[in-house]
């Protein structure tokens, strides 16, 4: 069963070995991820799903790693000795393929059970950064690594719904990390350049998530999204699809953008009230 969904940013600078003294400039995000990791630990999950914007992103469908063991390190940030690993849960993978195929949003399978795309078996930093904090908290679990696709938002939302049904059929407590940063254009000198609409986008997105205004999020102005230069919206949409038709609580744990990129940490908890799962109703 789905226990908790975490929204997490992935700036490598929040890894102490990488950030060094500059980590103090992102203290809100560090504390937020520590708090979120504690929430996930307290939920006692048996599986973890990571949804990332930096894996093998395709137009055909969300891609899922099928190799038995995935690994990633921070070599591109000067720390190849710092390695994160994750095991794939084949039972959940099979169920996701089955359920997603029913909704005509089948995923692209990477690795020894599917397409041998470059990078199969590699964990990107969209996964390794939040997994670092989870593993520091003692949460080191098998599960799935999923990269979003460039399909329409409605299809990604439907994929999230299929993902949820697969989780419920698997019958194991599952936590989800929806990895993504918000606008990359918040201030002059930001990584993607400055656009005043960056802050508009971030404020709107935080409000929509806090207030659970999912329909508005799915119909967010495309020009605003483009102007903001974000990378996490599609991850969040898949995660929200896992809550379709259900009541849930939302906690905005932290938000900041000291380097011109918006970092949001949030926790979403399903209430299992009137949830229509795989052929049954839970009160």
Q: Where are the domains of the chain?
A: 2-282
pLDDT at 283: 38
Q: Taking residues 9-18, report their average pLDDT.
A: 96
Measured CA to CA in angstroms, residue 177 lies from 37, 78, 135, 146, 166 at distances of 10, 25, 13, 10, 16
First to last CA, the chain: 14
Q: If we measure between CA atoms, which residue out of 253, 215, 211 comes closest to residue 5?
A: 253
* pLDDT value of position 118: 47
Compute the average pLDDT of residues 65-69.
Answer: 92
Query: What pLDDT is recorded for position 242?
Result: 97
Read off the pLDDT band of 269 (50, 70, 90). Answer: very high
- Specify the higher pLDDT residue, 76 or 182: 182
Q: Which residues contact 129 (CB under 8 A, 6 or more apart)?
A: 8, 9, 10, 11, 12, 14, 15, 179
In sequence order, the β-bridge partners of residue 267 are 6, 251
Q: What is the pLDDT of residue 105?
A: 83
pLDDT digits (tens, 9 = 90+) for 136-186: 999 999 999 999 999 999 999 999 999 999 999 999 999 999 999 999 999
Per the CB < 8 A criterion, the answer to whether 256 and 275 are in contact is no
Sequence-distant (6+) residues with CB within 8 A of 101 are none
pLDDT at site 48: 98
Helix axes 153-170, 90-102, angle to 10 degrees: 130
Mean pLDDT for the stretch of residues 216-238: 98
pLDDT of residue 114: 47
Q: What angle do CA 41, 12, 117 make, to 5 degrees?
A: 90
Confidence of residue 281 (pLDDT cuts 50, 70, 90): very low
The percentage of residues in the chain with a pLDDT greater than 70, rounded to a whole number, is 93
d(CA 167, CA 165): 5
Element (DSSP H or E) covering residue 101: helix 90-102
Pick the residue with more confidence: 29 or 108? 29
Q: How confident is the model at residue 232 (pLDDT cuts 50, 70, 90)?
A: very high
CA distance 231 to 250: 21
Q: Per the CATH hierarchy, to which homologous superfamily does domain 2-282 belong?
A: LigB-like (3.40.830.10)
Rounded CA separation 269/250 (Å): 7
Burial class of 274 by CB neighbour count within 10 A (0 to 12, 13 to 18, 19+)? exposed
Of 23-32, 67-76, 114-123, 141-150, the least confident: 114-123
SS3 268: strand
The DSSP code for 122 is B
pLDDT digits (tens, 9 = 90+) for 106-130: 899 987 554 545 455 789 999 999 9
Residue labelled with tokens 């891609």: 63
* Best CA proximity match to 202, nearest among 179, 188, 181, 177: 181
Q: What is the DSSP string of 42-95?
A: HT--SEEEEEESSS---SSS-EEE-SSEEEEEEGGGTEEEEEEEEEB-HHHHHH
């Amino acid at each position: 069963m789905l226990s908790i969904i975490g929204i997490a940013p992935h700036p490598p600078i929040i890894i102490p070995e990488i950030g060094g003294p500059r980590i103090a400039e992102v203290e809100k995000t560090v504390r937020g991820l520590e708090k979120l990791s504690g929430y996930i630990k307290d939920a006692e999950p048996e599986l973890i799903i990571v949804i990332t914007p930096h894996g093998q992103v395709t137009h055909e469908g969300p891609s899922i790693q099928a190799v038995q063991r995935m690994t990633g390190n921070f070599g591109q940030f000067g720390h190849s000795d710092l390695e994160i690993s994750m095991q794939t849960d084949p039972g959940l993978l099979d169920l996701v393929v089955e359920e997603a195929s029913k909704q005509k949003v089948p995923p692209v399978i990477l690795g020894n059970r599917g397409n041998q795309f470059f990078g199969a078996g590699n964990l990107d930093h969209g996964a390794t950064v939040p997994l670092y904090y989870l593993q520091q908290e003692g949460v080191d679990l098998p599960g799935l690594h999923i990269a979003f696709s460039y399909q329409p938002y409605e299809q990604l939302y439907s994929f999230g719904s299929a993902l949820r049904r697969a989780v419920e059929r698997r019958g194991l407590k599952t936590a989800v990390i929806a990895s993504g940063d918000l606008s990359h254009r918040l201030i002059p000198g930001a990584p993607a350049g400055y656009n005043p609409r960056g802050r508009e986008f971030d404020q709107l997105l935080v409000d929509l998530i806090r207030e659970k205004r999912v329909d508005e999020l799915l119909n967010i102005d495309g020009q605003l999204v483009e102007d903001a230069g974000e990378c996490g919206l599609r991850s969040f949409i898949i995660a929200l699809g896992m809550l379709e038709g259900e009541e849930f609580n939302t906690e905005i744990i932290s938000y900041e953008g000291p380097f011109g990129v918006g970092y949001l940490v949030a926790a979403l908890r399903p209430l299992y009230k009137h949830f229509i799962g795989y052929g049954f109703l839970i009160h």
